[in-house]
Amino acid sequence: MHSLLALLFALLLVVVVVVFVFVFVFVFVFVVVFVVVFVFVFVFVFVFVFVFVFVIFSLLVSLVLFVFASLVVLPRHVLNA
């Protein structure tokens, strides 16, 4: 009876350790994958938004300069000539 109890206790200990290791590995892998995916998505979105805003801003600046040149600078240049 005593050896059966010790065997059951050892089996329970093995099951607890295996479950603990499995849960720890699962949580660790989940956290690592989540962090990697989160960082990748954050960097991708940040770069995309930065490039998008930069392109829009540069287009707006070039449009404003073009309108300014066509309305102000070129007529003066033509009138002075």
Element (H or E) spanning 70, and its range? none
Q: Give pLDDT tens digits for 30-81.
A: 999 999 999 999 999 999 999 999 999 999 999 999 988 888 776 666 666 5
Residue 72: what pLDDT?
79
Length of the chain counted residue by residue: 81
Query: What is the rounded average pLDDT of the residues 7-21?
Result: 96
d(CA 26, CA 19): 10
Of 1-5, 8-12, 14-18, where does mean pLDDT reach its minimum? 1-5
